[in-house]
Amino acid sequence: MSAVQPPVPRTIGAVNWRGLWELYLKEVRRFVKVYLQTIGAPLVTTLLFLSIFALALGRAVQTQGGVPFMEFLAPGLMMMAMVQNAFANTSSSIIISKVQGSIIDVLMPPISPLELTLAYGAAGVTRGLLVGLAVGLAMSLFVTVHIHDVGMILFHAVGASLMLSLLGMLAGIWADKFDHLAAVTNFLITPLSFLSGTFYSLDRLPENVQFIAHFNPFFYMIDGFRYGFIGHDDALPGLSVIVVGGTNLVLAGLTYWLIRKGWKLKA
């Protein structure tokens, strides 16, 4: 009988692909398990928004940005559903882990800060894209959907979901309780969302307000995403790609640095 070989340490290499993949799957399974809450509820809420605007403004506002009002509105509502759920996914996961004390189970394994950032961020993007796909398919039953530029649609769908996913990670790291997350949502995410041009074209605003709106990164992710569908944008062509990409680099760098420092994560 051959001798039992003793266990040997696993060779990880420069990147712990197994750990990154397992953490990503853990986060995806977490929201898929309660799909009625994480995907079904945003779908119903967005369709309610669409129906309310159709009934309240459908006759009063015929066009917006040179296209039928509902065709203008639909991409913005779809984007808002995506990014809000990307933010909720990462922020809730981290704050729950901190409150329950299980964050140590994520910090102790040989997973680097960069791998943690990628895994959480990718899971948030996955939830955002699934919500966006569900909302888009449902909206197509009521609104004519045009595809002007597939590349712009995909870039801004992924880029915007990643932006809010990273913001959710930062909020989860900073927050000590759920009230803090609610404050971030109420005083940052919601105002930026409603002032992003989701419900109106920027040319309907006074010029001094238009200037302020151009400092809102949410405006660019909405504008670029909408351009991919209807071919209309309020910003300079391609500027949304630069702003969304640059914002994500800054947020990713800050998130990585905070995780590496262990700020509010390590006791």
Task: Report the C-alpha gap between 46 and 159 in whole angstroms.
Answer: 20
Distance CA 265, CA 93 (A): 13
pLDDT at 186: 93
Which one has a higher pLDDT value, 232 or 25? 25
Tokens encoding 230: 């209807």
Per the DSSP assignment, residues forming a β-bridge with 68 are 63
Considering the chain, what percentage of its residues have pLDDT values greater than 70?
93
pLDDT value at 2 more than 80: no
Q: What is the DSSP letter of 156?
A: H
pTM comes to: 0.92
